[in-house]
C-alpha cells in the first residue's frame, strides 16, 4: 500500500494549510506534466518546481519536488517526495492528514512498549 507522501523536509515555518497547498500543486503538476508552477493563497505564495527526478526511500518511490514560498511566517524552502499515482483531490480527503515528527516518535514509542 502506498502512502502518498513519504518525506516533507523544510527550512522555515509552515502551517498544515501551506503543506497541503504545495502538495496539491505538485500533484496537479504531475497530472499535467508541468515542471514549474506559481501559486498564491490567502496564507502564502510561491513556486513549486520539479525536474521529474525519482527518489527511493526504503521501499517507497516518488517524484522529488521543491517549493519556495513566502508568508507572514517568513520564507520557507521545501523539498518533498510524492507518490504521483494520487490525484490532487487526496489533499481534501478527510481520511488523510499531517502528522508531526513528535507524533511519529510518540507512536513509535507506544508501538514498541
CA 21: distance to chain centroid? Answer: 8
Q: pTM of the full predicted structure? A: 0.80
Identify any residues that bridge with 73 across adjacent strands, giving them in sequence order: none
pLDDT in tens, the chain (113 residues): 355 555 678 888 888 899 889 999 999 999 999 999 999 999 999 999 999 999 987 777 899 999 999 999 999 999 998 888 888 887 776 656 666 667 767 777 776 76
Amino acid at each position: 500500500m502506498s502512502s502518498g507522501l513519504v518525506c516533507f523536509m523544510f527550512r522555515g515555518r509552515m502551517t498544515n494549510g501551506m503543506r497541503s497547498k504545495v502538495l496539491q500543486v505538485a500533484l496537479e503538476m504531475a497530472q499535467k506534466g508541468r515542471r514549474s508552477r506559481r501559486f498564491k493563497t490567502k496564507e502564502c505564495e510561491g513556486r513549486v518546481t520539479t525536474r521529474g527526478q525519482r527518489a527511493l526511500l526504503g521501499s517507497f518511490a516518488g517524484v522529488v519536488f521543491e517549493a519556495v514560498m513566502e508568508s507572514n511566517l517568513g520564507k520557507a524552502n521545501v523539498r518533498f517526495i510524492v507518490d504521483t499515482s494520487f490525484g490532487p483531490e487526496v489533499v481534501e480527503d478527510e481520511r488523510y492528514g499531517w502528522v508531526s515528527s513528535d507524533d511519529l516518535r510518540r507512536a513509535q514509542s507506544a508501538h514498541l512498549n
